Structure 1
């Protein structure tokens, strides 16, 4: 019996078991009648959206984390605190809000074809806005939250939006964007909770800064309120001959100014239709966790593929992904669609769990313990009801793929495609449809030819059913990406290992895509780092299986003359960091490690071209093996360093351990690491901060939020101080502190006084009570009445996340639930 056949039978049994025993899973099964209605030819995007909303009206559609507002007794300011459960709105409620918003905007004269820029993290509010734009025929322009203001300015200038919608967290950047250039008629703020003082202040500041402009500032709640009072109007639909523009997906701008790939209504509509011809094929039940940005096709495909399938799309609670692991555990998705960097984070988390158990296992059967822990991780980390797993957006290393599949006990599907061409490959196999035809073209300057042995190699050119029509307002750029026969030039070098079987090899235009999906332009970086006073020549190297770069550096003659290689290497790394800061480069654009080469690149050794440019193919051929070994050494070194760190944590000062942990996670030397260094200045990002936070939790049993780690006001000393304060119990009790980190069930007996009152107070309590009540002959009452919030959703959880039913008052009503996140009217 083949492995695939065995896995298919296991999957069939898994689906049958979930259908029989998990009510939420069974209820998410697609309705054949709705699927048939969505598949009708000729439906326009507004009709597709309405068909899904009407067809699945009573099902839960969108979910978000439950939160409560808490007032700080010292400052009097109110903040929002997440609770460990989700709440949902139904398709009907979603349709009511989308309809109200569409009516309000049509009343405001926002017409079909008008552009609307949206800046924010994927959320319920974001989805409502995006769908309302689709209903009225406006053009959505999602902006990347990680992009520099200068990049966003060029997009806003080019698209001339009638309106900008922004999350409250992105509001300061949006105001800066408006004041520095193109001013829209309206600014709509979403994900806004006026009860939260920080958010209220941000909106007040925005209104004050824009007071002298013509821009009208409204909250999404205000717009929805207006829309609910307006009469319903027919959905405007384009005539049969038209296929209007619906969406602009802007590239990262790695090769120049960002370019807006145009998506027509027909292409956006395909995201709602689950089939073998798009990214996410048919499935038994779609329950997904959404955190990929809406400025990325993958993020949109997951969201709208879920809704078109009658499933429930839950949203991660924090844009920095600090709650990702908790969200994943609560949602228990049926589909796991992640980029390699996320898979790496999850696999590393499972390995740490194995290491912890093995460290305390003594002479027990290590293989059996590992198998036991991995099985636990499938339930506690991944939720235990996934039936499909996929990776995409960047290549996955064989090592990571093997590790993830051992965690999943399931095949990890690898997808390949592009913003411009759509889905092309699954597991290296050309998908027909949507691919119509492909060909490989020789790339002589890089040494790739159709005559190569054992397999033909060349640049992949495509024709697909999902091909974009071009870049917005860029006909000259559009012309450069199609050949004379109308094939799209992907820029990817592939090997044809069999009929319709392709394997990725390289990039033609020297633009690399890292494991987290970020593009880097090698030539730009090499030019920037050549400004270092220690660098004579530099070759930047990357492997899409890793989230960071390496380099080969030829130092200047002066640098070589005055320093040994061992001394020079850290000096060069420090110099590259300084250059990066001056050039405003991103942390992932700075090489983590390098090889110091004393022999310059030259014509004679073949490492320069005839016009004295770097001969990249020759450099890769010459240094590739050593650089790949450097990657392997860094991975192994990190594992060894983590082991040493865990052994020494009990006897080391907190700051020293924090510094060593940062150095281990980010691959920087810890000998001269300044205590006032910031995590992001050392090359960290939100995902590495998530890994760093997990490590700190393992070392100190303290949760350090990603926001604390990446905050620009927090250096390593501040992070260490935070841990010290948490150790001293300065915060109020949490679910984890009371019931345990991996609690699957909670009990009233967990609520002991020592979880809420410090030891010294408890010890003194009998004496104080006896003194106060001496002669009264009454026993001391040791009971403690918990705050209402602590008797809320935490107590609702049994073997799954709490279930919340709708209530018009907005107050929490808790019921016990078993199968997963469930329903609450978010009105």
Structure 2
């Protein structure tokens, strides 16, 4: 679809929604306010205040309505979600922000002070975040999925004046404070005093901190105090220009590739997230009604929230941090923007598959199934997603082409693929460099992985950038900061791309998360996890490798459907077959396929710490959690391999050839016995040319038959064909080999090794002396294998009456 056609369709869709949907029409951005937000030299507090005042009477934030339910037997009160959202206006939000800002200033929170915030995105969280910006404090969002041991060094490094924690994370917050730095105050938000569990959690926190100087207060108490203070008591920071562009935010990286580092954001960078109108990819009249579920510890979560408010829209919050209510929240909100990471799109696809499977369709009637699929898509489009989205985007992680195709079929609009980073900001949409904010880019060779600017048909290399939104560095980490910039000031993204045209780049690989296997092959773990995630039996997969071994292992979480009614022993070979199928479809190398894997029935989640805040695999945590078991699996595979190979060498020649060949392949490659069918190919089982060489040597040891590597890895050779080759060589005449003539381990060869007994069987040699001589004169001589001799010594003189024949 051309850009013009796409833009025209979008414009028509927006016009229809403005006419038919009152909420959409009321949420259109105001051109005058958009222009006011673009005024040069505004400080971050001034940008926020412009939006709050300009859109004062519009709904700003929405969260699920609740009711309190008391159990008649226990007498305990809990909170229950209702199937509707409640909103507050920009004016009400501004009143809350102003009251909290006055209270914070009164309590000695000053410009430049750090304040750590631990909790899920919510109305309360947003109030705190905006109040910190208003007083010029530095917000330090903490990942709710991080372990206390990961949070401790961040708190120690930032030395916050105050900490804020949601009641659900209150216990972790106290653990962190008791282990080191103690701020003056701990503010508890998202707190309902009516709920017994929450009230008890607050009491426990106060008891645990009783011997410290930390004051524990609820956000409501702080807001009530701020409401009593005189307006204008907050000294706002200077405008964000020149030397006055002060620090506003620290985003600590997820730690997927190492220890978390605090990326610094100045006021100007945060302010740009509010200024949606300067780069509105879906039109100046497009309303922003969003469902916010991304964590505030990730820049994508902040971008969606700030962009919505800066556009005069309404930001609704998911009711549960574990996203257990996501589908219901989507139905209620009916968002106009779908800003999802691939994992969320996968969730929607899973819901689609479930809905299709619920409607029984005869497998022999593909037309009927296609009709059901179309019906389910139409229902999801209108009922699940709300039918009024005008924009869809994926980002933060790679998405498989298959999933992308399905998403676009569902939405019936293009899915925008965003590329950016915490450090550099937004860089590309659909592979096209965005200018602005990108100032310049270049590709740098990565010799270790074989990527060069001279590659054909397109230059390839690590992407280095200069952007208007580039971060100034990592907080208190000058050495680390220096390491991510080259001598010319370009930021090293760590991503390898191909330049298919000027300003058009295609992601190729990740320089990091690359593992070199024992045989020297490099594997990109994140890419493999994305590929194997396409298996219909795999819900999640963690690929693990150790450079001391030539193969990979994995931990697989099966889908609920795959696990239902199937025991682990029966499920494992099914998953193994599925991984092989997916790998073949994706064109993976055999060494990229895990040789064995653990089956985990408990999914990787934020709560158990095995996913990061944006639901990417937390590799260090997964390595810590499963590393010992996976290393033990390496050990067990090695021991099993040794035992089985020893047995095969001892008795394999006496068993049926196909049985021994299959057992040998299984022992060498660690393949499940059920995968060793006669039509299985050695490479499909995880073998490569190196393991084929080992396999050939093993077969020679067992059968005294040389099986060439070419035979083993040939696409025409399955296990049955290899067995047939061996049987044919055993039954027929065998040509002499190097090992037979010169010795298996010979380092030098000698002419004296070329004796007749190496080429002619003993019975023929024994009978030769008593054979009758020729009865007539010899007229013809056949020389075979003697072309060189013939060319060097043949002379016509004296041999002219002879007929020579040569055979090669």
What is the TM-score when the length of structure 2 is the normalising length? Answer: 0.67
**Given the superposition, is the C-alpha separation of residues 185 and 686 from structure 1 closer, same or farther in structure 2, using an over 3 Å criterion?**
closer
Q: 3-state DSSP class of the match of 1:317?
A: coil
C-alpha separation in 2, matches of 1:56 and 1:544? 47
C-alpha separation in 2, matches of 1:178 and 1:140? 17
- 1:468 aligned partner: 471
- 1:60 aligned partner: 59
Shift of 1:286: 0.1
**Given the superposition, is the C-alpha separation of residues 205 and 425 from structure 1 closer, same or farther in structure 2, using an over 3 Å criterion?**
same
Q: How does 1:596-675 map to 2 (within 5 A)?
A: 641=562, 656=565
- 2:219 aligned partner: 220
- 2:511 aligned partner: 508
- 1:426 aligned partner: 429
**Given the superposition, is the C-alpha separation of residues 509 and 139 from structure 1 closer, same or farther in structure 2, using an over 3 Å criterion?**
same
- 1:574 aligned partner: none
Q: How does 1:511-530 map to 2 (within 5 A)?
A: none
C-alpha separation in 2, matches of 1:172 and 1:680? 28
**Given the superposition, is the C-alpha separation of residues 454 and 42 from structure 1 closer, same or farther in structure 2, using an over 3 Å criterion?**
same
- 2:605 aligned partner: 685
1:192–1:199 Cα contact (<8 Å) kept: yes
Shift of 1:415: 0.3
1:45–1:135 Cα contact (<8 Å) kept: yes
Residue of structure 1 aligned with 2:497, choices 472, 494, 505: 494
Q: How does 1:58-457 map to 2 (within 5 A)?
A: 58-233=57-232, 235-239=235-239, 240-241=241-242, 242-275=244-277, 277=279, 284-359=286-361, 365-457=368-460
C-alpha separation in 1, matches of 2:12 and 2:569? 43
Shift of 1:347: 1.8
Shift of 1:15: 1.6
**Given the superposition, is the C-alpha separation of residues 122 and 279 from structure 1 closer, same or farther in structure 2, using an over 3 Å criterion?**
farther
Q: C-alpha offsets along residues 551-592 of structure 1, whole Å, 9 cap, x if unaligned?
A: xxxxxxxxxxxxxxxxxxxxxxxxxxxxxxxxxxxx978449
Q: 3-state DSSP class of the match of 2:171?
A: helix
Residue of structure 2 aligned with 1:479, choices 477, 482, 490: 482
Q: C-alpha offsets along residues 627-653 of structure 1, whole Å, 9 cap, x if unaligned?
A: 9xx99xx99x969848xx5xxxxxxxx
Please list every run of 5 or more consecutive structure 2 residues that lacks an aligned counterpart in the other structure: 578-597, 610-808
C-alpha separation in 2, matches of 1:246 and 1:266? 9
Which structure's relative contact order is higher, taking Cα pairs within 8 Å and 6+ residues apart? 1
C-alpha separation in 1, matches of 2:600 and 2:479? 38
Q: C-alpha offsets along residues 457-499 of structure 1, whole Å, 9 cap, x if unaligned?
A: 1010000000000000111111111111010011111111111
Compare 147-156 and 111-120 and name the one that shifted more: 147-156
C-alpha separation in 1, matches of 2:400 and 2:5? 24
Matched, 1:543 2:527: yes
Q: 3-state DSSP class of the match of 1:414?
A: strand
C-alpha separation in 1, matches of 2:284 and 2:481? 33
C-alpha separation in 1, matches of 2:159 and 2:529? 38
Q: 3-state DSSP class of the match of 2:398?
A: coil
1:64–1:316 Cα contact (<8 Å) kept: yes
Q: 3-state DSSP class of the match of 2:276?
A: coil
Q: 3-state DSSP class of the match of 1:177?
A: helix
Q: 3-state DSSP class of the match of 1:359?
A: coil
2:529–2:543 Cα contact (<8 Å) kept: no
Q: 3-state DSSP class of the match of 2:202?
A: helix
C-alpha separation in 1, matches of 2:97 and 2:188? 16
Q: 3-state DSSP class of the match of 1:542?
A: helix
Q: C-alpha offsets along residues 212-268 of structure 1, whole Å, 9 cap, x if unaligned?
A: 010000000000000000000155131553100000000122343211000000000
Shift of 1:352: 2.1
C-alpha separation in 2, matches of 1:72 and 1:487? 61
1:277–1:434 Cα contact (<8 Å) kept: no
1:276–1:282 Cα contact (<8 Å) kept: no
C-alpha separation in 2, matches of 1:662 and 1:223? 58
C-alpha separation in 1, matches of 2:158 and 2:381? 45
Shift of 1:4: 5.4
- 1:817 aligned partner: none
Shift of 1:544: 6.9
**Given the superposition, is the C-alpha separation of residues 217 and 143 from structure 1 closer, same or farther in structure 2, using an over 3 Å criterion?**
same
1:420–1:468 Cα contact (<8 Å) kept: yes
- 2:27 aligned partner: 28
Q: C-alpha offsets along residues 192-213 of structure 1, whole Å, 9 cap, x if unaligned?
A: 0010000000000000000001
Shift of 1:370: 2.3
C-alpha separation in 2, matches of 1:591 and 1:40? 49
1:139–1:248 Cα contact (<8 Å) kept: yes
2:38–2:278 Cα contact (<8 Å) kept: no
2:400–2:531 Cα contact (<8 Å) kept: no
C-alpha separation in 2, matches of 1:667 and 1:115? 48
- 2:677 aligned partner: none
Shift of 1:446: 1.4
Shift of 1:395: 1.3
Question: How many pairs were matched up?
Answer: 583
**Greater gyration radius:** 2
1:441–1:449 Cα contact (<8 Å) kept: yes
**Given the superposition, is the C-alpha separation of residues 94 and 248 from structure 1 closer, same or farther in structure 2, using an over 3 Å criterion?**
same
Root mean square deviation of aligned Cα: 3.7
Q: 3-state DSSP class of the match of 1:493?
A: strand
C-alpha separation in 2, matches of 1:276 and 1:106? 33
1:66–1:83 Cα contact (<8 Å) kept: yes
C-alpha separation in 1, matches of 2:599 and 2:160? 36
C-alpha separation in 1, matches of 2:549 and 2:127? 49
Compare 82-91 and 360-369 and name the one that shifted more: 360-369
C-alpha separation in 1, matches of 2:490 and 2:147? 32
C-alpha separation in 2, matches of 1:141 and 1:37? 28
Shift of 1:379: 1.0
**Given the superposition, is the C-alpha separation of residues 10 and 335 from structure 1 closer, same or farther in structure 2, using an over 3 Å criterion?**
same
Shift of 1:505: 1.0
**Given the superposition, is the C-alpha separation of residues 453 and 668 from structure 1 closer, same or farther in structure 2, using an over 3 Å criterion?**
closer
2:145–2:606 Cα contact (<8 Å) kept: no
